[in-house]
Amino acid sequence: MAPSSFSSPSGERPSSSRPLGVACVGYAFMGKAHSNAWRNVSSYFDVPTFEQKVLVGRDTSLVAEAASRYGWATSSSSWRSVIYRDDIDIIDICAPGWMHAEIAIAALEAGKHILVEKPLANTLAEAELMTASAAKARARGVQSMIGFNYRRVPALALARELIAEGRLGTVRHVRAAYLQDWLSDAESPMTWRLRKETAGSGALGDIASHAIDQIQNLTGETVTEVTGTLRTFVNDRPGPAGLEEVSVDDAVWATLGLTRNISASVEASRVATGQKNSLRIEIYGSAGSLTFDLENLNELMFLDATLPVREQGFRRILVNEPEHPYLEAWWPQGHIIGWEHTFTHQIRDFLLAVRDGSQPSPSFEDGLQIQRVLAAVEESAAAKSSLIQLNATTIEGA
């Protein structure tokens, strides 16, 4: 294993002979998914040696129980004390969005490599501070990465390869819809995900961010124009104090303009009754098309428009061959993998970047770009769908 490339707060480099020490902040939904990946990644991929040192959460008894179940050596209720430990080299941030900026900036300044769940932050200002901190830390050999795990779906990674190889010709437009129904019932209880002060936004940051990242990642292009609409259909939900106000969106619609004259549409909803976790992406080019649905994540549909018309039609590619991205590590061809494997692939790529001293992808800069698009959607929606133009540093109303 290559030695770690940063100094501890005491100025001493971690020993190149000891495993990397990992701490995970958060033990609920995302903490569980990330913990599963940390527990399994070295069983299937050749990665640097590491140890699951500590799981962090606010409830002392619950986090201790989770740490025992998820394979962490110890637990803690103080992320501040953990980031300064000399035996911790990596901080994996799975806490709610309102905590991202404070934890990430402190950990980067303490010389820890950072993986943080999407979206990067709750606000554009916080995302800018995090990205600036990451850039300074990178100059010291400290790496940072944002967790858009769907980049690690083998079928979507294959789609990106096919597009880059020119199999679709000139990409013209993309449709992306991320639909869930877990809030369809108006009696579903209030959670931190429904309060702007803790979640930042609703379906916009939670799931539309994935769709926007896929549009940019698959095409290799950048969003430059945004028109957006936000809707909240259930304004109050039952909470501990009775009915509480929902201060984020239930659903979002956006039209995007990208570089190279690509157009895209985005739809995201957490009240789409009957849709459980459907991220559907359609990419249309001059020489072919691709479609994908997360609820069939081992499949990619491909149409080759260079064939004679009488032979054209979408064909199903079962993405399970060892030649497909990431799959050489798993099962014999034809044996499917699942949603949880995307986090294992993500941890694998992050660890290899830390080992090699290279910038992992997606970077905080990538996360900041997504945050600009999210902010533009909100601004456009507030202005009743006026066009918002983006450049490298600002968002301006047109």
Taking the C-alpha atoms of residue 147 and residue 285, their distance in angstroms, rounded to an integer, is 28
Gap between the Cα atoms of 135 and 16, Å rounded:
24
Residue 229 vs residues 174, 205, 206, 248, 314: alpha-carbon distances, Å: 18, 14, 16, 13, 32
Mean pLDDT, to the nearest integer, of 123-136? 98
What confidence tens digit (pLDDT) does each residue in 258-268 have? 999 999 999 99
Query: Among 2-16, 28-42, 75-89, 100-114, which is the least confidently predicted range?
Result: 2-16
Asked whether residue 275 carries a pLDDT value surpassing 90, the answer given is yes
* Start-end of H helices in the chain: 29-44, 60-70, 79-83, 100-109, 124-138, 154-164, 196-199, 203, 209-219, 341-356, 364-382
How far is it, in rounded angstroms, from Cα 49 to Cα 394?
Answer: 41
- Going by pLDDT thresholds of 50, 70 and 90, the confidence category of residue 62 is very high
Tell me the whole-structure pTM to 2 decimals: 0.92
pLDDT exceeds cutoff 50 at 99:
yes
pLDDT at 390 over 90: no
Q: Is the pLDDT at 16 greater than 70, yes or no?
A: no
Asked if 32 and 68 touch (Cβ cutoff 8 Å), the reply is: no
pLDDT of residue 10 exceeding 90, the answer is no
In whole angstroms, give the CA distance from residue 137 to residue 105: 10
Query: pLDDT digit string (tens) for 289-341?
Result: 999 999 999 999 999 999 999 999 999 999 999 999 999 999 999 999 999 99
Residue-by-residue DSSP string for 363-392:
-HHHHHHHHHHHHHHHHHHHTTS--EEE-S
Instruction: State the CATH class of domain 1-153+338-362.
Output: alpha beta
CA–CA dist 176, 218 (Å, integer)? 12
Tokens of 173: 């437009």
Task: Give the pLDDT confidence score for residue 387 in this predicted structure.
Answer: 76
Average pLDDT of every residue of the chain: 94
**pLDDT digits over 135-189, tens only?**
999 999 999 999 999 999 999 999 999 999 999 999 999 999 999 999 999 999 9
Name the amino acid, one letter, at 60. T
> In the prediction, which pLDDT does 74 show?
98
Is 2's pLDDT higher than 70? no
Average pLDDT over residues 227-241: 96
Residues with Cβ < 8 Å from 178, sequence gap 6 or more?
203, 207, 208, 210, 211, 267, 268, 269, 278, 279, 280
Of 88, 69, 80, nearest in space to 105 by CA: 80
User: What residues are paired with 353 via a beta bridge?
Assistant: none
- Give the CATH fold of the 155-296+298-333+371-382 domain: Dihydrodipicolinate Reductase; domain 2 (3.30.360)
Q: What percentage of the chain has pLDDT greater than the value 70?
A: 94
Rounded to whole angstroms, the Cα distance separating 202 from 195 reads 8
Confidence of residue 392 (pLDDT cuts 50, 70, 90): low
Give the residues across from 24 on adjacent strands.
Answer: 55, 92
The residue ranges of every structural domain in the chain are: 1-153+338-362, 155-296+298-333+371-382
For residue 161, the Cα-to-chain-centroid distance in whole angstroms is 19
Average pLDDT over residues 226-254: 97
